Amino acid sequence: MSSSGMQLLGFFLSLFGLAATVAATFMVEWKQMQQGSTHYFYEGLWMRCSGSDRLTCELHDSLLKLPAEVQATRAVMLLSIFLSTVALMVSTVGMKCTRFMDGKAESKSTTAMIGGIIFVVSGLLTLAITSWYVKMIVQTFHQTNQLQSSEFGKAVFVSWAGGLLTTVGGIFLSCRRCSRSESSESISSNHLLSTTNAKSNYV
């Protein structure tokens, strides 16, 4: 696969990862609890919902009253989204298929690599904070009455998927070796042509 194709693949993977991370951040099914057979309680990073057939939702009253895992997860997920947005703009400038920085191949590939590294950091942050959130929920589940304790919901899996896609996409974008090999081949071919032309002038 050419370096431009790998960059496009990494860009779209990271874009899908960013979309999944944003969706997970605002989903309410981070923590769930069932009462009886039909009544459900859900708690997200921004609001909580309850009900059976129809859910009633309300925003969290105060940030200071929230559990530590909710506060930390909210902060790190917002940081991850911010970093991915920055990486999106940086990698767009550095990709070979865009017209930014034309004529500066080395600077362009370096810019794409920086964008990919930022994507990797963002994805790792999402994976780490989501895993820590799950760990806290599991610890609470084992320490309290299991009939009334909460379990993690499907927003956790969406967040994991978003972090994984962002990380893999960032790795593809930051593949410096591919960009160098392609640029070195063009440089060597240009050098060969110039050498051939120079020799032909002496004949």
Query: Cα(199)–Cα(151) distance, rounded to whole angstroms?
Result: 76
Domain residue limits, the chain:
3-27+66-188
Residues 6+ apart with CB under 8 A from 163: 17, 21, 80, 123, 124, 125, 126, 127, 130
Amino acid 14: pLDDT: 93
Amino acid 146: pLDDT: 54
Query: Cα(99)–Cα(80) distance, rounded to whole angstroms?
Result: 28
Residues 112 and 106: beta-carbon distance below 8 Å: no
User: Considering the entire predicted model, what is its pTM?
Assistant: 0.78
Amino acid 152: pLDDT: 77
Query: Cα(141)–Cα(153) distance, rounded to whole angstroms?
Result: 13
Q: Smallest Cα–Cα separation from 118: which of 179, 161, 173, 178?
A: 173
Torsions phi, psi of 120, nearest 5? -60, -45
Could you report the average pLDDT of every consecutive run of 10 residues in the chain (203 residues)?
Answer: 74 93 92 74 86 77 77 93 94 74 70 89 96 86 61 89 95 68 43 45 45
Torsions phi, psi of 42, nearest 5? -125, 145
Beta bridge partners of 33: 41
Residues 126 and 84: beta-carbon distance below 8 Å: no
What is the fold, at CATH topology level, of the domain defined by 3-27+66-188?
Butyryl-CoA Dehydrogenase, subunit A; domain 3 (1.20.140)
DSSP summary character for residue 104: -
